[in-house]
Amino acid sequence: MTMLQVTPNGPWGKDAHPTMPVTPDEVLADLTECFAAGATGVHLHVRDESGGETLDPAVVNEMCRRVREVAYGDLEVGLTTGAWIVPDLADRIAMIREWEGVDVATVNLSEEGFEQVMAAMLDVGIGIDVGLWSPREVPALLASGLLPHAVRVSIELDPGEPYFLTGPPEATAEQVNLLLDEAGATCPRLTHGMNDWTWPLVRDAFRRGHATRVGFEDSVLLPDGTPATTNADLVRAAVALRAHG
């Protein structure tokens, strides 16, 4: 069965949802419920005790250790390498090189220096999860020569910034998939959307046999448009969609 990843918070705070898990203890309690609900992977934006995003190896490594303590079996632990967290490229790469317990990390093609970040990850054995936000980014990925080294391509489609994509979302996903197919990409794919595109692309992922993800990072709403109380509610809704089509 393909992975169902949970994204508990992203860069957001409690202004986006009152039960947004922010501190490390809140995230771990939230993930415990999400794993019990059926999540089989996690995409973390690691937070320090103040709730701020961090790539600090000491904090990252401890968080990954604690996540594995509450996980079921051999569950994938993935991180972000988002440039907004540590804007200086050299500092960011130095931190990533010291990470432990990280299976994969998402590298956004929209960010300057993505090639150097991916190369550093290859050096230290962290799997490359390509963060591809638009069909327009595929040429840069192919030019980098790094696609054959990726463990996954995450097709991450948001109708808002930075590309202001237009719908239907399934048609944009199809365009990206065709470009990857034409390039001979053989690694697994994860398809997900943001905001109004979240649930249409969860369904599209299930239809294609792709991994997908849900969580407050992407949307706080259930498929019927009502607010979820917790991330586990979103996981249960995705599990139900997968089971019933």
pLDDT tens track for 150-177 = 999 999 999 998 899 998 999 999 999 9
Q: Cα dihedral angle (189, 99, 108, 5), rounded to 10 degrees?
A: 40
Q: What is the pTM for the complete model shown?
A: 0.96
Within 13 A of 12's CA, how many CA atoms are on the CB side?
A: 18
CATH topology of domain 4-244: TIM Barrel (3.20.20)
Q: Where are the domains of the chain?
A: 4-244
Taken as a whole, the chain contains a residue count of 245
Residue 39 pLDDT more than 70? yes
Please give the mean pLDDT across all residues of the chain. 96
pLDDT band at 245 (very low <50, low <70, confident <90, very high): low
Work out the average pLDDT over 115-134: 98
Tens-place pLDDT, residues 201-211: 999 999 999 99
Q: Return d(Cα 40, Cα 213) in angstroms, integer.
A: 10
What pLDDT is recorded for position 244? 85
| More confident of the two residues 73 and 241 | 241
Work out the average pLDDT over 78-105: 98
Q: Return d(Cα 130, Cα 111) in angstroms, integer.
A: 12
Tens-place pLDDT, residues 60-80: 999 999 999 999 888 999 999
Give 122's contacts (C-beta < 8 A, 6+ positions apart): 128, 149
